[in-house]
């Protein structure tokens, strides 16, 4: 039997910073949210930097490499893809990712 996934209301679009990141708390889980207004899309990845061992990912710069969006860790500059959390420097490492949608100016996140 599979677990029922559910959509939770995390915060409002107004809490986000365009083309940059903020952090939200989902129970005890820290989640980095990146808002790209051009695509009307919010990406959600883990806030914990597995290389720097600190909760800082939302404070990294977002960019693209060959068309794929990433966030660069503000500590040691490793790149993590926003789509799947994969680290470009070390394929054995990745950040957790969540699905999101924007409904009525609210950011909804899917939990498993």
Partner 1 sequence: MNKQNLVVVGNGMVGHQFLQSLADSGQLDQFNVTVFCEEPRLAYDRVYLSSYFSGATAEDLAMGQIDVYQSWGLNVLIGEAVTSIDRDAQHVHTNKGTTLFYDKLVLATGSYPFVPPVPGHTREHCLVYRTIEDLEAIKASATGAKVGVVVGGGLLGLEAAKAIKDLGLETHVVEFAPRLMAVQLDEGGGNLLRKKIEDLGVKVHTGKNTQQIVDGKDAYHRMEFADGEVLETDLILFSAGIRPRDNLARDCGLEVGERGGIVVDNNCQTSDQKIYSIGECALWSGRIYGLVAPGYAMAKVVVEQLSGGDKQFLGADMSTKLKLMGIDVASIGDAHGHTKGALSYTYNDQVNQIYKKIVVSETGNELLGAILVGEANDYGTLLQYALNGIQLPKNPETLIVPNFGGDDAETGLGISALPDTAHICSCHDVTKGAIFCSIEAGAQTVCEVKAATKAASGCGGCNQLLTDLVNHELEQRGVTVSHDICEHFAFTREDLYNIIRIEEIKTFDGLLSKHGHGHGCEICKPLVGSLLASCWNEYILDKPHVGLQDTNDTFMANMQKDGTYSVVPRVPGGEITPDQLIAIGQVGKKYNLYTKVTGGQRIDLFGARLEELPEIWKELIDAGMETGHAYGKSLRTVKSCVGSTWCRYGVDDSTGLAIELENRYKGLRAPHKIKFGVSGCTRECAEAQSKDIGIIATEKGWNLYLCGNGGMKPRHADLFATDLDKDTLVKYIDRFLMFYIKTGKRLQRTSVWMENLEGGLEYLRKVVIDDHLGMNETLESQMDHVVATYECEWKRTIEDEDALKRFRTFVNSEKTDNNIVFIQERGQIRPATEEEKAVAEPIKMIM
Nearer to partner 1, 1 or 11 (CB): 11
CB of 38 to partner 1, least distance (A): 9
Task: In whole angstroms, give the CA distance from residue 65 to residue 15.
Answer: 27
* Per-position x/- string for 63-92, each x denoting binding to partner 1 as judged by CB under 8 A, each - no binding: xxxxx-xx-x-xx-x---------------
Which of 64, 17, 23, 65 has the alpha carbon at shortest distance from 37? 17
- By the rule CB under 8 A, 102 interacts with partner 1: no
| Number of helices (H), then strands (E), in the chain | 0, 12
- By the rule CB under 8 A, 40 interacts with partner 1: no
Q: Are 41 and 18 in contact (CB under 8 A)?
A: no
- By the rule CB under 8 A, 11 interacts with partner 1: yes
């Amino acid at each position: 039997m599979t677990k029922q996934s559910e959509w939770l209301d995390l915060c409002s679009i107004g809490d986000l910073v365009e083309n940059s990141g903020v952090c939200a708390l989902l129970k005890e889980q820290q989640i980095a949210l990146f808002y790209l207004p051009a695509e009307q899309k919010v990406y959600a990845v883990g806030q914990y930097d597995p290389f720097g061992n600190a909760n800082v990912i939302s404070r990294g710069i977002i960019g693209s490499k060959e068309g794929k969006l990433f966030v660069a860790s503000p500590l040691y500059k490793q790149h993590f893809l926003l789509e799947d959390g994969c680290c470009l420097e070390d394929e054995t490492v990745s950040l957790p990712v969540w699905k999101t949608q924007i409904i009525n100016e609210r950011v909804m996140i899917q939990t498993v």
